[in-house]
Each structure stands twice: as structure tokens, then as C-alpha cells.
């Protein structure tokens, strides 16, 4: 079966076109050959831009051919009102990264629910069998919070790992392991699996072994998960990673604990340092049939009605849980790194696309109350940065400062908190430097 990539009427900038075709091949070539078509008025321009690709003329007859299984419409989404041929899989592809906030470029249009084509592990365990069939939040109590099969390969629990990582529990002594935790920014949801900073870090570590005393093989596993807070990072470590005894543990986070810390139940946040995903409140309503019971404004899921928790309580909860996570990890003899993830507020000088992102942010703040929420996130993030730079006994990798120092010639952010491949490259480089410094210090 073939995949048909349908280029848009507006010619795409060369670098983005190259990435688009590379990601289409990466994603769909395992299922069969890939063909590329373009509209008549832009066919010559595309052929000139991609002389090594056999780009044909687009047409309804081509799209309907029986051996074409997948249609990929480049440019964001298929045209409005387009008739989708029966039996075809149809995807939109966002050629401008800021068009799909917090997501990769592919969007499944038909079928409306994902299946084994998207997620080969579908039905592998009871919670995936009972779960939904659309990318999004899942109510699975053992590690996963969000299924994102459109991002590329994920394991049976939703982690962005393309092989059975359990085998690493019995790796040879010269095989070293680093693991990454965090939310969607650690998952690297806006980039391909070979562009995520975890993968780029693995390449760097293997290119020049940072471990004193000889050559070693390095593997970097990505246990980042959409919306995870530090508490869930630690639970993920205990359930899945503790047995692997990694040499390096990276906790790349900050945003989600602020986001949910602002609106969580103050009794839990301030009294017990418990920051939780707000979706848990809705699961309780459904499970116990209490949908009609009001949720107090102080921790309402309606952002516009929130009264925010005090920043010192949010910071105290974050730091307490992160220190606890560090303590658990260091008991195994592993090195633990505190990564303060960047935000677009970290960028002093914006690239042209990042300026568009900042201009588009009001769509997520359509009311003064929602605008107040975004302002509160940025305010607490700045306070968190100040607090972490004063904290003793931690290995801090400060991406707020690193991203501030970068000029606007390169786009590093795809939205207010997720990175481009170039942004993930900056992150990989910084973790590589930090790991090398720590290992060198350990060897002295």
C-alpha cells in the first residue's frame, strides 16, 4: 500500500519542506512506498526545489487509487469540505510548527480514532483496552497520563521509547544509562523522535564518551509524559526505572508544577506539598457520579474563575518533591540533575516565528481572567528560577538563563513552553556539558 503526500498551493520554505518530507518518509515508509504530488500552478516550483524527488501532478483520480492507503495533506489540514475517499487514512501536517500548539505536525483526520496502525500496543494491557481511542488524557494509574501515538513510536505505557527497555536491567558494565523525566517538554512533543533532546543527548554521549576510564556505550531513555508533575516523575521512576539502576537521572520540568500548583486544592498544595493534574478531579466526578457537585473556585477547572495559590506554597511543594526525588535516585548511586525547562518568556530576543507565537497567545487568554492566569505562570516561573539559583546541594541546568542568552536568529520555541528541534539541540548540548562536568568531578 502507498502513501500520497499532497503539497499545498503555497510553496513551503525549503528547510521546512525538507523536514516535512523526511518526517513523512520516517513515519509512513514502513507501510509501503511514498509518492509526492503538487498542484499544477506550483508543480514546477516544487520540482525545482526538490529535483531528486519525483513530484507528480495532484488530482482527484490519483488520490482515489486503490493502492493508496494514506493521504497526507501538507499545510495544516485538508481543505474545508473535502470529500475523504472511503477506506483511506487521512492526515493533516502543520508546515508551520506554531499552528499545532503542544503537538507534533501530524494530525489524524480519518479514521477519527486511532487504531493498531497508530499504536501497535493497542489492547496490550487492561488499561489500554479499556481506554479511549483518541490521542489525549488517559486514566491509567501505572505511569501514563497521556497517549500520543501521533508523535511516532511509543511503548505500551505511552513513553517515547521504541524498544523494550526492560532488557537494560541486565546490561553489561560498560553500557551506561541516562533517563529523562518531565512533562510534554521532556517528551519533546513538537519534534520527531530522532530530534528530541533525549536522542540528541545519546548521540553526543556516544560521540565522545564522558565517562573516565575507557569507552562505554550510552543509552538515553525518555520517560517524559505530557502533563507530568514532579510527583508523577518520581512514581514513574519507582515503577519502571528503579530496577534499571541508571547512572544518570535528569528531571526536566518546572512549568507543569506551576500550572497545576496555581489552581490545585490549597489544602493539598500548601499543607501536604501535593500538586496534581486537574483532570483527576473530573475522574472522581465521573467515578462517583458527583458531576453536579460544585468544585470550589479556588481549585476550579474553569481557569477564569480561579483564585490562585500563593507562589511561596507552589515553590515549596515543587522543591520539596524534587529534593525527595533526588534523594530516592541518589540512594541507588545515580547522579541527579535539576533541569529548569525554558519558556518563551526566557527569550529576550524572539525569532520572527516566535513573535507570531507571542502574538497568537491571546487566543489562549480570551478573557482578562485567562490572561491573568498566563501572567501568573510567568511570574511564578521567574520566582522559581530565582529560588533554584540560590539552592544548595543540587546540580542545576538553568535553561531560563541559557535561552535568554540566545539571540533571535534561530527559532527555539514552538509555543509558550515546547521547543523546536533547534531548541532541543540546545538542551541536549547543555545536559551533555553538565554530565561531563559531573562525571569528571566524580572521578577526581
Distance CA 336, CA 251 (A): 8
Q: Same domain for 251 and 398?
A: yes
* Residue 215 CB contacts under 8 Å (≥ 6 apart), including other chains: 174, 209
Q: Would you state the pLDDT for residue 300?
A: 57
Q: Is residue 117 included in any domain, yes or no?
A: no
Kindly report whether the peptide bond that precedes residue 111 is cis, defined as omega within 30 degrees of 0: yes
State the Cα–Cα distance between residues 409 and 352, nearest whole angstrom: 8
Residue 71 grid coordinates: 493521504
Kindly state whether residues 210 and 76 are assigned to the same domain: no
pTM score: 0.94
How crowded is residue 286: how many other Cβ atoms within 10 Å of its Cβ? 10
**Domain end position, chosen among 43, 64, 95:** 95
Asked whether residue 293 is domain-assigned, the answer is: yes
- 144 and 30, same structural domain? no
Q: Mind giving me the DSSP string for 107-152?
A: EEEESSS--TTT-TTTTSSHHHHHS-SSSEE---SSS--EE-GGGS
β partners of residue 92: 73, 107
The CB-based long-range contact list for 264-268 (8 Å cut-off, 24+ gap) reads 264/299, 264/309, 265/298, 265/299, 266/298, 266/299, 266/309, 266/313
> In terms of domains, do 150 and 14 share one?
no
Domain count, the chain: 2
Quick one: 195 and 67 in the same domain?
Answer: no
Res 8: pLDDT: 92
CA distance 36 to 47: 10
Q: What pLDDT, in 10s, does the model give residues 20-46?
A: 999 999 999 999 999 999 999 999 999
Are residues 350 and 406 both part of a single domain? yes
Structural domain ending residue among the three candidates 44, 72, 95: 95
Q: How many CB atoms lie within 10 A of CB 310?
A: 14
- The answer to whether residues 157 and 91 belong to one domain is no
pLDDT for res 429: 98
* Same domain flag for 392 and 297: yes
**Do 35 and 143 reside in the same domain of the chain?**
no
pLDDT, mean of each 10-residue run, the chain (444 residues):
93 91 95 95 94 92 88 80 80 78 87 90 86 80 81 94 96 96 97 96 93 86 96 95 98 97 92 91 86 70 69 97 98 97 95 86 63 87 98 98 96 94 97 96 85
Specify whether 434 is located in the same domain as 327: yes
Instruction: Quickly list DSSP for 9-23.
Output: SSPPPHHHHHHHHHH
Looking at residue 241, what DSSP letter applies?
Answer: I
| pLDDT of amino acid 367 | 63
- Is residue 131, in this structure, part of any structural domain at all? no
The C-alpha atoms of residue 237 and residue 231 are separated, in whole angstroms, by 10
Evaluate whether residue 152 is within a structural domain. Answer: yes
- The answer as to whether 247 is a domain residue is yes
Q: Looking at residue 30, which CATH number applies to its domain? A: 3.40.50
The range of the structural domain enclosing residue 407 comes to 136-443
Tell me the Ramachandran region of residue 367: left when phi exceeds 0, alpha when psi lies from -120 to 50, beta otherwise.
Answer: beta
In a domain, 129, yes or no: no
Is 263 inside any structural domain? yes
In angstroms, the Cα distances linking 57 to 88, 93, 326 are 20, 19, 57
Domain boundary among 39, 71, 95: 95
Q: What integer pLDDT is reported at residue 356 of this predicted model? A: 85
Residue 329 lies in a domain: yes
d(CA 52, CA 43) in angstroms, rounded, equals 14
Residue 423: give its domain's CATH number.
3.40.50.1110
Answer yes or no: do 349 and 277 share one domain: yes
C-alpha cell recorded at residue 81: 469540505
DSSP-derived 3-state class of residue 70: strand
Of 234, 281, 302, the C-alpha closest to 139 is 281
pLDDT tens digits along 191-231:
999 999 999 999 999 998 887 877 789 999 999 999 999 99
3-class DSSP assignment, residue 234: helix
| Residues 303 and 393 grouped into a single domain | yes
**pLDDT at res. 248:** 98
Amino acid at each position: 500500500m502507498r502513501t500520497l503526500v499532497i503539497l499545498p498551493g503555497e510553496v513551503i520554505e525549503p528547510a521546512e519542506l525538507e523536514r516535512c518530507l523526511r518526517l513523512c518518509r520516517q513515519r509512513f515508509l514502513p507501510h509501503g512506498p511514498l509518492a509526492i504530488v503538487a498542484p499544477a500552478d506550483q508543480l514546477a516550483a516544487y520540482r525545482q526545489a526538490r529535483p531528486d524527488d519525483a513530484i507528480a501532478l495532484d488530482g482527484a483520480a490519483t488520490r482515489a487509487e486503490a493502492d493508496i492507503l494514506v493521504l497526507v495533506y501538507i499545510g495544516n489540514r485538508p481543505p474545508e469540505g473535502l470529500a475523504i475517499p472511503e477506506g483511506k487514512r487521512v492526515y493533516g501536517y502543520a508546515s508551520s510548527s506554531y499552528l499545532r500548539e503542544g503537538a507534533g505536525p501530524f494530525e489524524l483526520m480519518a479514521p477519527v480514532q486511532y487504531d493498531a496502525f497508530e499504536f501497535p500496543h493497542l489492547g496490550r494491557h487492561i488499561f489500554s483496552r479499556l481506554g479511549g481511542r483518541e490521542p489525549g488524557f488517559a486514566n491509567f494509574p501505572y505511569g501514563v497520563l497521556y497517549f500520543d501515538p501521533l508523535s511516532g513510536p511509543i511503548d505500551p505505557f505511552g513513553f517515547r521509547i521504541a524498544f523494550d527497555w526492560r532488557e537494560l536491567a541486565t546490561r553489561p558494565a560498560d553500557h551506561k544509562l541516562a533517563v529523562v523525566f518531565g512533562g510534554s517538554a521532556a517528551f519533546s512533543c513538537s519534534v520527531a523522535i530522532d530530534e528530541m533532546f533525549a536522542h540528541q543527548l545519546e548521540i553526543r554521549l556516544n560521540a565522545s564518551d564522558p565517562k573516565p576510564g575507557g569507552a562505554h556505550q550510552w543509552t538515553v531513555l525518555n520517560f517524559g509524559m505530557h502533563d507530568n508533575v514532579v510527583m508523577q516523575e518520581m512514581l514513574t521512576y519507582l515503577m519502571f526505572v528503579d530496577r534499571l539502576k541508571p547512572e544518570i537521572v535528569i528531571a526536566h520540568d518546572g512549568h507543569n508544577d506551576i500550572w497545576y500548583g496555581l489552581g490545585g486544592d490549597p489544602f493539598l498544595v500548601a499543607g501536604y506539598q501535593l500538586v496534581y493534574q486537574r483532570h483527576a478531579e473530573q475522574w472522581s466526578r465521573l467515578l462517583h457520579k458527583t458531576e453536579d457537585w460544585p468544585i470550589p473556585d479556588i481549585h476550579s477547572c474553569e481557569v477564569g474563575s480561579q483564585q490562585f495559590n500563593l507562589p511561596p506554597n507552589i515553590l515549596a511543594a515543587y522543591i520539596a518533591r524534587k529534593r525527595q526525588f533526588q534523594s530516592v535516585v541518589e540512594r541507588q548511586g545515580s547522579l541527579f540533575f535539576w533541569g529548569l525547562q525554558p519558556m518563551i518568556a526566557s527569550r529576550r530576543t524572539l525569532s520572527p516565528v516566535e513573535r507570531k507565537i507571542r502574538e497568537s497567545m491571546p487566543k489562549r487568554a480570551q478573557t482578562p481572567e485567562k490572561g491573568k492566569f498566563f501572567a501568573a505562570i510567568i511570574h511564578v516561573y521567574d520566582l522559581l528560577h530565582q529560588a533554584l539559583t540560590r539552592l544548595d546541594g543540587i546540580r542545576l541546568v538553568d535553561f531560563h538563563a541559557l535561552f535568554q542568552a540566545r539571540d533571535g536568529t534561530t527559532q527555539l520555541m514552538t509555543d509558550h513552553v515546547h521547543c523546536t528541534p533547534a531548541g532541543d539541540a540546545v538542551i541536549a548540548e547543555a545536559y551533555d556539558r553538565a554530565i561531563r562536568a559531573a562525571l569528571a568531578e566524580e572521578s577526581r
